[in-house]
Amino acid sequence: MNQKYKELLSPYTFANGIELKNRIVMAPMTNYSSNPNGTVTDAEVNYYARRSRGVSMVITACAYVTPNGKGFHGEFGADNDEMIPSLKQLADAIKEQGAKAVLQIFHGGRMCPPELVPNGEIVSASEVPATGSTNTPRALSESEVDEIIDAFGEATRRAIEAGYDGVEIHGANGYLIQQFFSPHSNRREDRFGGSLEKRMTFPLAIVDKIKNVVAEHAESNFIIGYRFSPEELETPGITMSDTFALVDALADKGLDYLHVSLNQFFSTPRRGVDDLSKTRIDYLLETINNRIPLIGVGSIQTAEDAKMALDTGVSLVALGREIIIDPDWVQKVAEGKEAEIVTKLQKDKQEELVVPDPLWNAIINTPGWFPIA
C-alpha cells in the first residue's frame, strides 16, 4: 500500500465501541431492483455482496417504513414483519463479506409516485406539491404523524431482528423527514410546524423513538445514523443556517454519526452563511465541533479524492457511483494499485460488475448521471 493512503484504510471506532476496518463506506443508492411485493431479489443481494468485501460499512438503499411511504419502483420494504426474512437475506450477504450492514429507512412523502401508494394518495406535512410536480399531497393529521414516527421505530425493530448492525434515518433528498423540516413543504400551525424549532419536532421525535426501540431490543453497540441535505433550492426553503440548527440538535442526541448528502464533496453554500467561498463540509465540521462523526460523500472517485476528503476532518468517506463503477476500489488502494481504479463505467462490464438489469438500464438511459467510458 502507498503510505500516502494509509489513513483511508485505518480502522475507525464509533463511540458505541463498534470498529470499522477502514474509513470507506458504501453510500446508500436506490437500485430499482426489488420485487413488486417489497422483498429483495437475488440479483440485488448479489450486487451488494459484490461491493461489501472492501468497504467497512454498507448503507443500503432506503426501505420504506409504511405502505404509503414507498418512493421508488423496485424498492424493498421494512413496513411489516413479513419483510424480516427478506431483510435478513440482505444483511447476511453484506456481513458475510466483512462489512457492517446498515439499513436506511425512510418515507417518501410527497415524492412518492401515486401508483405505488394505497389509493394513489400521497401525503406530506402540508398540501404543497414538490417543485415541478402536479401531484398535491394531502396533509397528514397529527395522529397520522405520530403513527409514522412509530413506524420508523417498528422498522428499526425489524432491522434488529434481521441482524443489521444499524439503521440510517433518511432525513435528506426532499423526502418526508426533510419535508417536515423545510419551510417550503411544511406550512403547519400545530406542534409539528411553524418556527424552525417546531419544524425540527418530527425529525427529532423519530430519533427519540428509534433510540428507545434500540435500547429495548438491541445491543448497546447498534449503530444509529442520520442523513441530511444541507440546503434547498426553493424559497422559502432550507438554508445552511437552518441546517446548522438541526445539526446542532442532532449532535447532542447521542447518535453514532451524521451523513451529509452532497453531489460534490467540496461544494460551497448558496445562502445562509457569511462566507460563500468556504465549503459546506467545513461549516458543518465547525458546527459539530467533534461531538459526532460526520460522513462525507459526493463525486469522490480516486484515492487522491478520498484522501483530500478525509483530510478535511470528516471521519468517514462514502462512495456511491464510484463503488458501482469499481467494486474493488478499496482492494486496489490496499494493494498499492490505486492507479488501476476505474472511474468511468464500461458498458460491456455489467455482468462482471454484478449490476441488476433495472439499475443498469437506469444508469445507461440517464445521461450525465454516471461518467461512462
The pLDDT, as a whole number, for residue 194 is 95
The pLDDT, as a whole number, for residue 85 is 98
Annotated catalytic sites, by residue? 175
Element (H, E) at 103: strand 100-106
Which among 221, 210, 219, 226 has a CA at the least distance from the CA of 78? 210
Which residues contact residue 260 at a Cβ distance below 8 angstroms, ignoring those fewer than 6 apart? 227, 228, 229, 230, 280, 281, 284, 294, 295, 296, 297
Asked if 296 contacts 262 with a C-beta cutoff of 8 angstroms, the reply is yes
The pLDDT, as a whole number, for residue 364 is 96
Q: At 83, is the secondary structure helix, strand, or coil?
A: helix
Q: What is the CA radius of gyration of the chain?
A: 19
The pLDDT, as a whole number, for residue 221 is 97
The pLDDT, as a whole number, for residue 228 is 98
The pLDDT, as a whole number, for residue 319 is 98
Which residues contact residue 284 at a Cβ distance below 8 angstroms, ignoring those fewer than 6 apart? 230, 243, 244, 247, 258, 260, 294
Which grid coordinates belong to 253? 442526541
Asked if 84 contacts 158 with a C-beta cutoff of 8 angstroms, the reply is yes
Q: At 212, is the secondary structure helix, strand, or coil?
A: helix
**pLDDT for 41-85, tens place per residue?**
999 999 999 999 999 999 999 999 999 999 999 999 999 999 999
Asked if 86 contacts 38 with a C-beta cutoff of 8 angstroms, the reply is yes
**What is the number of alpha carbons within 13 Å of residue 265 lying toward its C-beta?**
25
Peptide bond into 236 cis (omega under 30): yes
Domains of the chain: 3-364 (3.20.20.70)
Q: What is the pTM of this model?
A: 0.98
Residues in the chain: 373
CA 36 to CA 162: how far, in whole Å? 20
- Counting as low any pLDDT under 70, the low residues of the chain are none
